[in-house]
Chains A and B, each alone.
Chain A
């Protein structure tokens, strides 16, 4: 008999089980056998509880059912082998599929815990006549089930963090593009909120681009920036100054009235800051400085480059 055999071997296995050696535990094997036999019934019960709790509302019933089947089988496998690797891989793939559709962390944790409850409750029903055996079955079941729940939850959160990290990276790269308009003439359009970390990154990218593209004139357009604080304004002034040290002249265009006042209040030397009202005027001025067009005849660069 399975049960008596299980009782005989309990003392030996008791110490090892928490270390993940659950495959050797006959109680767990019996449990897994039972869960396999009851697969379709428990799976349906689980899917029903999921829709009842209004989890995974973005997915259709068919999708929920097929994912539920896959999770159920992986879950039982993980219980049997004690190895969570397959489940981990599956959870990661599942997360990749469902995160773009807007599935929330609480939903994922919710469905895994629901499965745990559904299975636990079916165990109660099966072993209700033998409380001692039920206790031991639960002793075997609970740690494994909890580990699985943690694994799935963590995989989901990790996947989400990876996505967020990727997006942050993309945002950072996109946020300060340095564009080459003509030979030796760069534009740096700044749109959105200019905080000090972005301002620092802007400075680095601009100076790097000046060196790489051998730019002599740079237009920084801040039409899309509504306001800046004193620190950032200072940083902007420093950027212009550092560009000058590298041999590039900087034109600042599109200053909002608020930014203009911030700069004046800073009491910095604005003499070396060349500012033009809008981007169009700034570009015309830049082309003149770089010797492209409308340059006066006394400027030898114009002869050389046109």
Chain B
């Protein structure tokens, strides 16, 4: 599969290695949603830096990954959207709400730390 999924503490890091076919996108979604439960995951980082194109299907799938992971208790952050990809997504009005994005892995982890801590405080 073109996606490597690593576990780091309470987080899952899904690193996409190359452009994905539609079926691979669906596979990724199923696998991630599955793993969230298995490892009591609090956060997911999806690295899309290798994607030269994010079309409406991929965008919608990312969004549904975020929403379904959220339902199982994990926040998701997308990192590494390339400048050209960002411009294209805006121009084609691919609405990624309520996606969270970060510039790189460091920023994503920092952001997840903040989100999950706040979440814990809110919950208590």
A245 and B101: CB pair below 8 A? yes
Contact B114 A245 (CB under 8 A): no
Chain A to chain B contacts (Cβ below 8 Å), 15 pairs: A203-B87, A207-B86, A210-B83, A216-B103, A238-B87, A238-B91, A242-B83, A242-B87, A245-B81, A245-B86, A246-B83, A246-B103, A247-B79, A300-B114, A304-B110
Is A246's CB under 8 angstroms from B107's CB?
no
Among B85, B91, B96, B103, max chain A CB count under 10 A is at B103
State in angstroms the CA–CA spacing of A203 and B89 once bound together. 14
Q: Which of B90, B104, B117 contacts A242 (CB 8 A)?
A: B90
Give per-residue flags for B89-124: 1 if the beta carbon is below 8 A from chain A beta carbons, else 0: 111000010000111100110100110011000000
A214 touches B103 (CB 8 A): yes
Asked whether, in the complex, the Cβ of B103 is within 8 Å of the Cβ of A210, the reply is: yes
Contacts of B83 in A (CB 8 A): 204, 207-208, 210-211, 242, 246
The chain B residues found within 8 Å of chain A, CB to CB, are: 79, 81-83, 85-87, 89-91, 96, 101-104, 107-108, 110, 113-114, 117-118
Residue of B91, B96, B107, B113 touching A247 (CB-CB under 8 A): B107
| Contact status B104-A238, CB under 8 Å | no
Nearest neighbor of B97 in chain A, beta-carbon distance: A272
The residues of A that contact B82 with a CB separation of less than 8 Å are: 211
Enumerate chain A residues within 8 angstroms of B102, measured Cβ to Cβ. 247
A279 to B100, CA, bound (A): 27
Report B103 CB to chain A, min CB distance, Å.
3
Q: Does A27 contact B (CB under 8 A)?
A: no
- Bound CA span A257–B85, Å: 32
- Complex contacts, B104 vs chain A, CB 8 Å: 214, 247
**Given contact pairs A204-B83, A211-B83, A215-B103, A245 touches B90 in the complex (Cβ within 8 A):** yes
Q: Which of B90, B96, B114 lies at the interface centre, i.e. has the most chain A CB atoms within 10 A of its CB? A: B90
Question: Nearest 5 A-B pairs (CB), nearest first?
Answer: A247-B103, A207-B83, A242-B86, A245-B86, A247-B102
Contact (Cβ within 8 A) A245 B110: no
Rounded to whole angstroms, the CA-CA distance of A303 and B90 in the bound complex is 34
Nearest residue (CB) in A for B99 is A245
Contact mask for chain A residues 112-151; partner B; CB cutoff 8 A; 1 contact, 0 none: 0000000000000000000000000000000000000000
In the assembled complex, the CB of A137 is this many whole angstroms from the nearest CB of chain B, namely 66
Residues in chain B near residue A204, CB distance under 8 A? 83, 87
Q: Pick the contact of B117: A210, A216, A246, A300 (CB < 8 A).
A: A300
Interface centre among B83, B87, B91, B108, by most chain A C-beta atoms within 10 angstroms, is: B83
Other than the known A214-B107, A216-B107, A245-B85, what 14 A-B pairs have Cβ atoms closer than 8 Å?
Answer: A204-B83, A207-B86, A211-B82, A238-B87, A241-B90, A242-B83, A242-B86, A242-B89, A242-B90, A245-B81, A246-B103, A247-B79, A247-B102, A304-B110
| Alpha-carbon distance A229/B66, docked complex (angstroms) | 37
